[in-house]
Amino acid sequence: MQDNLHHFSILSLNMPDEERLHQSVLACGSALDLKFIFSNTMQAKILFLSKNSAFAHLMLNRAKSDGTLSLVFVNTVTEQEKSNGSLFQDWPCISTEIASSELSLILKKHVKRQNTKSEQKSAEPQYSFSTLAELTENLHELITQGIQHLSITNGERTIFLNLDKNIFFLDSNRHYDFDQSNDSINKLLAHFKLGGSINTLSENTFDLPKKYQSYMAHRLLWLLAEQMTENLINDLDQNNTFGISHWPDFGSLKTEPNYLRLCASLIQTPLTLSEIKSKLNISKTKIIAFLNSSMLCQHLIYGVNLNTNPKNTIATLSREEILNCRRSLNIEDNK
Amino acid sequence: MNDKSEKYKIIFAGDVAAGKTTAIASVSDIPPVQTEVKASDAEAIGKTYTTVAFDYGEIFLPYLKNRLRLYGLPGQTRFSFMWEILSENVLGTILLADHSKHDSIEKTRTFIKNFAPIIHKSGSVGVLGVTKSDLVQSGYSIQNYQNMLAEEQLYIPVFQIDVREKNDVILLIDTLLSQIEAIHC
């Protein structure tokens, strides 16, 4: 359940005398003109937690790392635990005998803080998407506007993108098996195929905890756009010419050999879609995938007359010699 | 050696310890011929053995009944007299840059400045493989290398690769073939 300014979901885990506690909280809600709802959802923003609960450390780690929990009450913490730097020390302590006025005060303070945060948050534009194609289109629009700092989230998983440094961040605790391979990235993207939202962020958001690992952002963008079966360019017509401004780092991208051929041709001379097909004999699907990826990664130039300066080299091989060279080197040639 | 076999020739060039010898060994179908000797200035160049003439390897090209000849040029400028000799009639040039050291970019810049005239003279296509780099930790930026090459009027692809991986070296070779195809076909 989503929290709004007057509406807070609460999860209570293994607290002693929970019923009495719930009654106190509900009474506080009435006094403060706020609605507190007890639920079983992990999306709850307020947590009452017994330090003896099997979930205690797990929940508190989650709260500390991604801020999904905005307030945690823990039942009595000893002085020794505090001085030992216990995980519980950062959160308010509570007992079932807590005075209603004290509880009200804590909750009120928390609500005020949350409202301020919500107001600040609402100032940051959010773009929702319901498919990976929509995610790609929205990202393209934002990147084209020069926005470099973004997050993609579906509530459960979040990717932080810092495009001016060509990196993205993932919570390594949550993505412990992420190895930056294309398979891994595609699995990560699959989590967003049912939707989520993109948020624009300020640069200082990237002061992330150490457990956030960084990876190459262009690889993520390339694989995302590659999955689109339609053109990312809406106004594509047959007479559009496409060129490439500079080579992507295919050493890191680990893509297929035909992209090298496409890139080499389009960096040399801008071509229309039909010219690319006839010159290189590559399927339209592959060409569209390449154009989409190049576009999202900001390598593609289109719809303008490009001045080119064809390079002349001395060594010459015929198309057949090149083809046979590739076959001899076992380079896949999936058209 | 006849004209036919000379046709398929690629050179590997780069500063000392950029990975030329390893790259050739990764893809060669024959045991590479190496002319490494114990370096008299091991400390200065950062490795015990160094190539003084050239490395040589071959990849069989069964569909062409031929061989792709791979020459690794010595990295030290005092052996630069070999560069021009070995750069004649090449299909393409694979430049390598070691990104593992703090002064990697400057060392590569110096090498490329010295070597660029050879590439321009040979008129061959090229590619730069950046080796021994860990993308994020080392602050690797493809842009740094692209800018450095542009200063020498070299507009060639820059890829992050591992020269120990055969597929990565083949990627560099395929990049040369793709450029030749784009220009001539």
Mean pLDDT value across chain A:
77
Task: Supply the pLDDT for residue A5.
Answer: 44
In angstroms, how far is CA A41 from the centroid of its own chain?
A: 23
pLDDT tens-digit readout, A267-304: 988 898 889 999 999 998 899 999 999 999 988 887 65
- Cβ A251–B124 below 8 Å, yes or no? no
Determine the pLDDT at residue B36: 65
Q: How confident is the model at residue A263 (pLDDT cuts 50, 70, 90)?
A: very high
User: DSSP strand E in chain B: where?
Assistant: 9-14, 36-38, 49-51, 55-61, 66-72, 92-98, 125-131, 158-160
- Contact of B11 with chain A, judged by CB distance below 8 Å, is answered with no
pLDDT at A103: 74
Q: Which residue has the higher pLDDT, B1 or B185?
A: B185
pLDDT tens digits along A34-89: 777 776 555 566 777 666 655 566 666 655 554 545 566 666 655 665 555 555 66
**Residue B102 vs residue A262, higher pLDDT:** A262
pLDDT tens readout for residues B108-124: 889 999 999 999 988 88
Residue A253 and residue A221 in contact, taking contact as beta carbons nearer than 8 Å: no
pLDDT at A138: 92
- The answer to whether B85 contacts chain A (CB < 8 Å) is no
Name every chain B residue with its beta carbon within 8 A of the beta carbon of A322.
Answer: 177, 180-181, 185
User: What's the burial of A278, exposed, middle or buried (CB within 10 Å: 0-12/13-18/19+)?
Assistant: exposed
**Buried/exposed code over B114-126 (b: 16+ C-beta within 10 A; e: otherwise):** ebbebbeebebbb
pLDDT band of B1, cuts 50, 70, 90: very low
Q: How confident is the model at residue A255 (pLDDT cuts 50, 70, 90)?
A: confident
Residues of A in contact with B62 (CB under 8 A): 328
ipTM of the complex: 0.86
| Cβ-contact B139, B133 below 8 angstroms | no
- Work out whether the CA dihedral A319, A321, A324, A326 comes out positive or negative: negative
The residue of chain B nearest to residue A255, with distances taken between CA atoms, is B171
Q: How far apart are CA A38 and CA A174, in angstroms?
A: 26
Sign for the pseudo-dihedral over CA of A230, A234, A238, A242: negative
A249 contacts on B by Cβ (under 8 Å): 142, 158-160
- Closest CB to B175 among A260, A311, A325: A260
pTM for the predicted model, two decimal places = 0.71
Q: How confident is the model at residue A159 (pLDDT cuts 50, 70, 90)?
A: very high
Supply B137's token pair.
Answer: 């930790």
Is residue A193 pLDDT above 80, yes or no? Answer: yes
List, in sequence order, every residue forming a beta bridge with B70; answer none if it has no partner. B10, B57
CB atoms within 10 A of CB A298: 16
Query: What is the pLDDT, as a whole number, of residue A303?
Result: 65
Query: pLDDT category, A31, cuts 50, 70, 90?
Result: confident
Cβ separation B64–A268 shorter than 8 A = no
